[in-house]
Amino acid sequence: MVHIDTDFNIRFGRPLEMEDPSKIDTIQDIFTGVSGVKYMSISHPTLAVLYLYSVKIPKFHNLRSLQADFSCYMLKLLPVFLESCPNLTDLTVDIEAFPLLPEQLDLRDVPRCLRSTLKRVFINKLIMKEYTGIKLVNYFLENSAVLKELTVSFVDSPLTNHKREIFKNLLTPTKLSRRCQVYIY
């Protein structure tokens, strides 16, 4: 398991300078160096650097399991990152939920792993009835052809049966994978 967690000096008001391409090259070299791993965990600050500085993500052909911390604002990077993981079977997304307007969350691209290999998705830290979480769950249900299990957990867990039913009613009735079971906690 490779855990990638670096703040790249962006947390305390000292961002990477685009004038220094060697730093961007170093970030890309780190990802290229770990591109053969089977299991990876990647932090929100690292994803922020990838997004903010448009770092080219290498292909992770061997990657089977990915755990990633996303903020709602970084979710548009999710399909891009997943496209670099063509053989991914297990995905865990820990989401830092903030209310977004519907037009702020664009999840249209469908990576190859959703169409062919992704079997299990775990989405953690959702907020009940919050649009971003519903859209994310529906994205996987509507686009994952071989998905067997989608597990959702909320920050306000444990949920009552009534709240579980409310959430289920907000989900799409159109599942691409008929075998997919949805678990809500």
Q: Which pLDDT tens digit goes with each residue over 13-44?
A: 455 555 567 767 777 888 888 889 999 999 88
Separation between Cα atoms, residue 12 and residue 126, nearest integer Å: 27
pLDDT for position 11 = 45
Separation between Cα atoms, residue 56 and residue 66, nearest integer Å: 18
pLDDT for position 156 = 75
Segment 137-152 mean pLDDT:
96
Q: Which two tokens stand for residue 176?
A: 């691409």
> In degrees rounded to 5, what are phi and psi of residue 63?
-70, 125
pTM (2 d.p.): 0.86
pLDDT for position 103 = 61
Give how far the C-alpha of residue 71 lies from the chain's centroid of Cα atoms, to the nearest Å.
9
Q: Which two tokens stand for residue 29?
A: 């070299």
> In degrees rounded to 5, what are phi and psi of residue 183?
-115, 135
- Looking at per-residue pLDDT, the higher value among 17 and 46 belongs to 46
DSSP secondary structure, 125-178, as one string: EE-TT-HHHHHHHHHHHHH-SS--EEEEEETTPSPPHHHHHHHHHHS-S--S-T
% of residues, the chain, pLDDT over 90: 42
For residues 87 and 115, is the Cβ–Cβ distance under 8 A?
no
The CA–CA distances, whole Å, from 157 to 24, 164, 185 equal 40, 10, 6
Segment 133-140 mean pLDDT:
91
pLDDT for position 99 = 63
Q: Which two tokens stand for residue 54?
A: 């448009």
pLDDT for position 48 = 80
Q: Sketch out the chain's domains with CATH numbers.
A: 2-6+16-184 (3.80.10)
